[in-house]
């Protein structure tokens, strides 16, 4: 699969989305060389990442939080062992809360964060308006010393028909990166793009995704009847958001 020449030559990162899947499946994927794993629910991530079997068998595991994060769950998320990246920062208040909570951990590393953009304009999706992107990144860079801005993330609308041309949500994320790089005087290879899931990851990589979130293609379909208790925040989620956040 060739990446367009004008895009940074970054090897895309595969984030294996393990929500609703048991620790043993995470360990098995890890034993085959997978290192990056994603979860949508804070409680499920905390339990899985703290599992003694995972802690002993997967010392180099890197956890990505890819669900909607509410402010009351920030401290719980910051307690996750081997938390590598938060992909869903969608407000300055949330960035501030995450920054101060991570600061209290006195970690030697800054926490990597992505800014989530609602490129499709759907009410069921979380994320900033595209027009708020630059201000948000500037806020993280200047006011959140414990956070490291590493990229932009979008979910985008589902089921785009590729015969109609490239996914406009992915194209928008690309153009937002371009604008961001010009305004902040940074290079494109300093701004990752997290876009693409099981059904469209190949197209996402072809147009420049550096981070794809894939669950069912790796682990098989999810069985929601066995799902752990939802975070308390699930009650006020908009529509079917949490179920569809990462396929």
Average confidence score pLDDT of the chain: 88
Query: Structural domain tally of the chain?
Result: 1
The answer, yes or no, to whether residue 243 has pLDDT greater than 70, is no
End-to-end Cα, the chain, rounded Å: 21
**How many whole angstroms from its chain centre is CA 97?**
18
- Residue 100, in any domain of the structure: yes
Res. 63 pLDDT band, cuts 50 70 90: very high
Sign of CA dihedral 24, 28, 31, 34: negative
The answer, yes or no, to whether residue 3 has pLDDT greater than 60, is no
- Residue 229, in any domain of the structure: no
pLDDT by residue (tens digit) across 67-95?
A: 999 999 999 999 999 999 999 999 999 99
Q: Which two tokens stand for residue 51?
A: 């599992």
The more confidently predicted of residues 164 and 94 is 94
Res. 226 pLDDT band, cuts 50 70 90: low
The answer, yes or no, to whether residue 227 has pLDDT greater than 80, is no
When mean pLDDT is compared across 127-136, 147-156, 224-233, the lowest value belongs to 224-233
Complete DSSP assignment for 83-121 = EEEEEEE-SHHHHHHHHHHHHHHT-SSPEEEEEEB--S-
- Residue 154, in any domain of the structure: yes
The more confidently predicted of residues 158 and 76 is 76
Cα–Cα distance measured from residue 148 to residue 50, given in angstroms and rounded to the nearest whole number: 24
162: CATH: 3.20.20.10
Contacts 24+ apart (CB under 8 A), 230-237: 230/41, 230/43, 231/41, 231/42, 231/43, 231/70, 231/73, 232/72, 233/68, 233/70, 233/72, 233/73, 237/68
Is there a contact between 17 and 243 (Cβ–Cβ < 8 Å)? no
How is residue 236 annotated by DSSP? G
Q: Burial, 140: exposed, middle or buried (Cβ in 10 Å; 0-12, 13-18, 19+)?
A: buried
Report the percentage of the chain scoring pLDDT > 70: 85
- Residue 101, in any domain of the structure: yes
At 149, is the secondary structure helix, strand, or coil? Answer: strand
- Residue 1, in any domain of the structure: no
**What is the span of the domain harbouring residue 143?**
13-219
- Residue 188, in any domain of the structure: yes
The answer, yes or no, to whether residue 62 has pLDDT greater than 50, is yes
Is there a contact between 100 and 147 (Cβ–Cβ < 8 Å)? no
pLDDT by residue (tens digit) across 104-129?
A: 998 889 999 999 999 999 888 999 99
pLDDT (0 to 100) of residue 231: 43
pTM to 2 decimals? Answer: 0.86
Task: Give the residue-averaged pLDDT of 154-169.
Answer: 86
- Residue 226, in any domain of the structure: no
- Residue 3, in any domain of the structure: no
Cα–Cα distance measured from residue 100 to residue 145, given in angstroms and rounded to the nearest whole number: 9
């Amino acid at each position: 699969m060739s990446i367009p020449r004008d895009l940074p030559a970054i090897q895309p990162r595969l984030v294996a989305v393990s929500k609703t899947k048991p620790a043993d499946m995470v360990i098995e994927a890890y034993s085959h060389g997978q290192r990056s794993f994603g979860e949508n629910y804070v409680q499920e991530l905390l339990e899985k990442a703290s599992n003694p079997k995972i802690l002993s068998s997967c010392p180099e595991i890197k956890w990505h939080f890819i669900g909607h994060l509410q402010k009351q769950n920030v401290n719980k998320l910051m307690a996750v062992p081997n938390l590598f990246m938060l992909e869903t920062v969608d407000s300055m208040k949330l960035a501030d809360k995450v920054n101060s909570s991570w600061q209290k951990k006195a970690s030697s590393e800054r926490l990597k964060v992505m800014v989530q953009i609602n490129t499709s304009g759907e009410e069921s999706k979380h994320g900033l308006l595209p027009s708020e992107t630059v201000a948000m990144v500037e806020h993280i860079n200047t006011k959140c010393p414990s956070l490291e801005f590493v990229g932009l993330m979008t979910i985008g609308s589902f089921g785009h028909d590729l015969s109609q041309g490239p996914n406009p949500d992915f194209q928008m994320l690309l153009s937002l990166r371009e604008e961001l790089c010009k305004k902040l005087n940074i290079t494109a290879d300093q701004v990752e793009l997290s876009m693409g899931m099981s059904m469209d990851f190949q197209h996402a990589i072809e147009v420049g995704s550096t981070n794809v979130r894939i669950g069912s293609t790796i682990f098989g379909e999810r069985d929601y009847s066995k799902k752990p208790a939802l975070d308390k925040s699930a009650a006020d989620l908009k529509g079917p958001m949490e179920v569809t956040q990462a396929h």
